[in-house]
Amino acid sequence: MKQDTELVIGLMSGTSLDGIDAVLAEFPAEKTAKNSENSTKIPKSPVPLSFLTHPLEKSLTQRLQALNLKPEISLQELASLQLELGLAFSGAAQALMMRTQTSPADITVLGSHGQTIFHAPQLHGHLGMSLQIGHPAIIAKRSGLPVAADFRVDDMALGGQGAPLAPAFHKILFAPQIAEHKAIAVVNIGGISNLSLLTNNRTLGFDLGPGNGLMDEVCQRYFACDYDKHGDIAAQGKVDKTLLNQLKQHLFFQQTPPKSTGKETFNYQWLQSFELPSDPKDLLSTLNQLTADLIIEAIQQTPAKQLILCGGGALNSTLVQRIQQGLQSLAIPVQSSQAFGIDPMAIEALLIAWLAHQRHHQRPTDLTQITGSGKPTVLGSLTLP
């Protein structure tokens, strides 16, 4: 490790349940900007040094997938999942340290997002609540690292949606592209898609709706695979325009930001309320087009001059081609974050590393224009090893 830098681990498991993403990030020394009245730190983007995806046990994945369809759980099962996921997250951290030949003494802090099993931006008209499990105490004690976790609840306690958290980080990560184009959009396509609209003066963001999540469920149900690699199966099907239009009538798509959602809203059970195509390939193609259209229609309403894609959806060639075609008339270049040297699969874990770094240094994160939070605040709890 270089002098005046810090190493941070970020762990992320999204709604797609395709494993725990783990990144080792190096945070450079920060420059100090001074004026006559005060001095502030200018944050610099972390550098990802190593990335891996640590598999989840199949039986654990199946139990979590069941919660997407029916978010009800016994206290015994909740406690069991807290323990098992805590062990899985600590296993991911240990695998990463082994790969990079680092020890707990080398790492400043570990950030864990946990596994979301329930997200409700509002409960009975009052403050919302979001529940991520994989207990940080288990991770801290097993890995030997201080663990920053539970980032969403601090935001929700101040009236925010608790999601998305990424736009504030995207502003730092893609600062050179903002400087070049003045206004850019970053869309993370995980289980749910979310948008960051970034300019020199403003940082906005909100969830768009289904990303890979619905497509993954269809793949697992009909095609005996976890996901549609490169979108090859969707490319073989036809878009059911009637179904596509019906899906777009969901009230979430009519809401104005700030807004967030999750698999408790958009899941296969929701799809079953519609008349589905007899050919599952047509269903998959239609869901692929739904994800593309939600992104296209959102970008069309922004001043963005460039679109950067990250998350698993950035590797879905069919999806990317449809987005590019939909934005062709606006001459907006659509590129994967890989074009800028950043693995699209690593960005969410890198976000969690950044949030952990923020928490370790007790720096507030400003989500007021993103989630609707009442004020900038320090996000997350800190658990010692």
Pair of tokens at residue 8: 């941070």
Does residue 40 lie in a domain region?
Answer: yes
Provide the residue count of the chain.
385
Which element (helix H / strand E) includes 200? Answer: none
Q: Residue 30's pLDDT is what?
A: 63
CATH number at residue 119: 3.30.420.40
Nearest-CA neighbor of 25 among 287, 357, 294? 357
What is the rounded CA–CA span in Å between residue 22 and residue 212? 20
pLDDT at 33 over 60: no
Phi and psi (nearest 5°) for 141? -70, -35
- Report the candidate in 132, 159, 137 with the shortest Cα–Cα distance to residue 147: 137
The answer to whether residue 308 sits within a structural domain is yes
DSSP alpha helix (H) spans, the chain: 58-69, 75-100, 136-143, 151-157, 166-173, 175-181, 213-222, 232-236, 241-247, 251-254, 268-271, 280-299, 317-326, 347-360
Given a cut of 50, is residue 40 above it in pLDDT? no
Residue labelled with tokens 């869309």: 187
Q: Do residues 184 and 62 both lie within one domain?
A: no
Contact between residue 294 and residue 206 where contact means Cβ atoms under 8 Å apart: no
Same domain, 93 and 180: no
Give the model's pLDDT for residue 43. Answer: 62
Distance, in Å, from the CA atom of 381 to the CA atom of 360, rounded to the nearest integer, reads 9
Region 40-68 average pLDDT: 86
Q: If you search the block for the tokens 């979301």, which residue do you land on? A: 116
Give the residue numbers spanning the domain of 102.
Answer: 6-158+356-363+378-383
Any domain includes 54? yes
Instruction: Verify that 137 and 181 share a domain, yes or no.
Output: no
pTM of the predicted model as reported, rounded to 2 decimal places: 0.92
Tokens of 292: 């593309």
pLDDT digits (tens, 9 = 90+) for 287-314: 999 999 999 999 999 999 999 999 999 9
The 10 Å Cβ neighbour count of residue 325 is: 12
Domain assignment present for 337: no
With a cut of 90, say whether residue 371 has pLDDT above it.
yes
Distance from the Cα of residue 316 to its chain's centroid: 17
pLDDT of 146 reads 98
188 and 318 inside one domain: yes
Strand partners, 238: none
Summarize pLDDT for 191-247 with one digit per residue, the tens.
999 999 999 999 999 999 999 999 999 999 999 998 999 999 999 999 999 999 999
